[in-house]
Amino acid sequence: MAFLPRQALRPSHFLRLRQVVHRRVFNVRYLSGSAPLGNSNAESKVGKEQGTQATSKTTHFGFKDVPEYEKEELVREVFSSVAKSYDVMNDVMSFGVHRLWKDHFVAKLDPGRRPGGEPLSILDVAGGTGDIAFRMLDWASDIHNDHQSKVLVVDINDDMLKEGHKRSLTTRYADGSRIEFKVQNAEFLDAVPDNSQDLYTVAFGIRNFTNIPAALRAAHRILKPGGVFACLEFSKVNVGILDMIYQQYSFNIIPLMGQLVAADRDSYQYLVESIARFPSQKEFAGMIKDAGFEISGDGYEDLTFGVAAIHTGVKV
Amino acid sequence: MYLTSATIFVHNFKMPSSVIVRRMPAHLSKATFCRLRRRSYHSYDHLPYNPYTPSQEKILSSALKHVPEYGFVKQSLVQGCRDAGYLDTTHAVFQDGVFDLVKFHLYTERNKLAALKQQIDEEEGKSIGKRIRRYCTERLKANEPIISKWTEAIAIMGLPQNIPQSLEELAKLSDEIWFLVDNKTSDFDWYTKRASLAAVYSSTELYMTQDNSPRFEKTYKFLDRRLAVVQNAGSSISNMASWASFTCFASINLLQSQFSRG
């Protein structure tokens, strides 16, 4: 795992962050404004949008309703502004647990060429910084001794992809023969041919998509028959008392930490709002089914009481 | 109870009057519920709930054919995916991995018992004991091809996260057998019968993994002994119960007559 040491917190991280904080903490930009707390028919709009493939002209951006054509740009802005401090913030917010989730996600998918099989083509969507891609390549190389399987990392955000590319240069995949970065909209995936991929992964990305059903249909289009759609995403905590604590933490602490550590309260306010707006485990499993995938059992696995969940579906 | 500002906000408890009914998501429509929902009772009017799609059945049953060779490991699952015409990665769709393979074996073999009902009813007559023994042997026979690897399956079933589902499956098997012998008891016996049969079956299964005798003769003798013990215990308990109730009522009557005399 050549890239792992890079992810650990190092003094230089703090130095850079301190500079950022000094520069920006007293001059906070308000990207999306404060959340309109009275927007209580937001929930019904989600239902409408999922049911009728977004015939309405607005979609949600956190708890705000924005015109559809704006959301893409807004999400791009959020991730451009967090790209540099993305990993540090993930560690701070989740106490490092996101690494365990990602490791488990990859172990569960167990990607790699097996004796008598073919090398895999893996598409990692919204995987800008390459977190999942590197883990999968490491797994394939170290566990299956597979040095041929490839990952195509796509993201709508060029800044995130640049971070990923920069990182890839310090790994054993620096020559770019096994990993490729491309700017793509997950709802269309124009550059990916039909029936071409073995595995489609999206980790902590799908809730930011403007039109999730369209993205699921695109996933179905590009997978080979038998190919697996796998999604790691924040979900709903399934124990009442823990949910209460979790909600308090995510709405009160995370935006504050975003302000202090990354000097960007709005982006983190958006992150927690988008988590709260994302459908529950069961609803999302239903959406995966509606896109034409087959699921096994409930189709998902809860991680840490449902703070995150892994959903899988297979194209048959 | 959860009335904090954040949760009200998140769950949208305050619905405006214009939104009267929240649309049910398409996959939770009423039709789906009628078709697929698990029932906690047996219905003669509905098809039994089948948790597996045809393609999953194909993959898992092909995978089971590789178990004698590889064991209950991911390799068997991957081979099953290949045999069924899917990709190596397809195995990732099974949320519980190898445990899904174990569960599939338990599920299919349990459901095969119902098809034997007519034959067993004809061959074994009315004796409940004989019919129970026959269902147990039929179910144990289904383990014969994979018995060399069954200890692996037992180990997987014993993992903490799998124990509830494994016990549920054992309870279902015991319930299925009592149901198939037309036992309609509705008192506390209902529980003791199922519990004792489950204990007998699981201990016999464990014995079978270590049995080297030809055609598992020792296992079936072991089963007979376990069943005899349970039957004896069962009759002793019921004798004991009738003795206790007789004594209890008799003492009450005695006391009553003593008091009425003054």
Radius of gyration from C-alpha coordinates of chain B? 25
Cα–Cα distance for residue pair B55/A183, rounded to 1 Å: 35
CB distance A275 to A250 below 8 Å: yes
- What are the residues whose beta carbons fall under 8 Å from the beta carbon of A239, sequence distance 6 or more? A305, A306
CB distance A62 to A270 below 8 Å: yes
For residue B5, what is the nearest residue in chain A, using CA coordinates?
A: A248
CB distance A306 to A236 below 8 Å: yes
Model confidence, pTM? 0.75
Residue A23 CA from chain centroid, whole number? 29
Does the pLDDT value for residue B238 go beyond 90?
Answer: no
B30 interfacial to chain A (CB closer than 8 Å): no
Q: Whose CA is closest to B110, among B51, B189, B68?
A: B51
Cα–Cα distance for residue pair A268/A259, rounded to 1 Å: 8
ipTM of the complex: 0.72
Q: According to the model, what pLDDT value does residue A238 have?
A: 87
Does the pLDDT value for residue B137 go beyond 90?
Answer: yes
Which region among A294-308, B43-57, B127-141, B235-249 has the lowest average model confidence (pLDDT)? B43-57
Q: Distance between terminal CA atoms of chain A?
A: 34
B92 interfacial to chain A (CB closer than 8 Å): yes
A251/B96 touch (CB, cutoff 8 Å), yes or no: no
Interface test with B, best of A247, A249, A253, A269 (most B CBs within 10 A): A247
Q: Classify A223 in phi/psi space as left (phi over 0), alpha (psi -120 to 50) or beta.
A: beta
**Fold for the domain defined by A55-314:** Rossmann fold (3.40.50)
Q: According to the model, what pLDDT value does residue A5 have?
A: 42
Q: According to the model, what pLDDT value does residue A40 have?
A: 37
DSSP H helix total and E strand total for chain A: 13, 9
Does the pLDDT value for residue B20 go beyond 90?
Answer: no
Cα–Cα distance for residue pair B142/B111, rounded to 1 Å: 12
CB distance A186 to A154 below 8 Å: yes
Q: According to the model, what pLDDT value does residue B192 have?
A: 87
For chain A, 316 residues long, give each residue's pLDDT as a single digit of tens: 444 444 444 545 544 544 444 444 433 333 333 333 333 334 344 434 444 444 457 787 877 788 777 777 778 777 777 767 777 777 877 888 999 999 999 999 999 999 888 899 999 999 888 889 999 999 999 999 999 999 999 998 888 898 899 999 999 999 889 999 999 999 999 999 999 999 999 999 898 888 999 999 999 999 999 999 999 999 999 888 999 999 999 899 888 888 888 778 888 888 888 888 899 999 999 999 999 999 998 899 999 999 999 999 999 8
A296/B90 touch (CB, cutoff 8 Å), yes or no: no
CB distance A287 to A280 below 8 Å: no
B59-84: burial string, b at 16+ Cβ within 10 Å, e else: bbbbbbebbeebbbbbbbbbbbbbeb
Q: Which residues of A touch B51 (CB under 8 A)?
A: 297
pLDDT above 70: percentage of residues in chain B = 85
For residue B29, what is the nearest residue in chain A, using CA coordinates?
A: A286
Q: Whose CA is closest to B201, among B220, B183, B181?
A: B220
Cα–Cα distance for residue pair B33/A85, rounded to 1 Å: 46
B74/A110 touch (CB, cutoff 8 Å), yes or no: yes
B96/A297 touch (CB, cutoff 8 Å), yes or no: yes
Give a three-class secondary structure readout of B117-128.
Answer: HHHHHHHHCCCH
List, for residues B210-223, the tens digit of each pLDDT value. Answer: 998 998 999 999 99
Q: How confident is the model at residue B208 (pLDDT cuts 50, 70, 90)?
A: very high
List, for residues B59-102, the tens digit of each pLDDT value. Answer: 999 999 999 999 999 999 999 999 999 999 999 999 998 999 99
Q: According to the model, what pLDDT value does residue A201 have?
A: 95
Q: According to the model, what pLDDT value does residue B262 have?
A: 66
A247/B85 touch (CB, cutoff 8 Å), yes or no: no
Interface test with B, best of A43, A44, A304 (most B CBs within 10 A): A44
CB distance A265 to A29 below 8 Å: no
Distance from CA of B3 to the nearest CA of A (A): 10
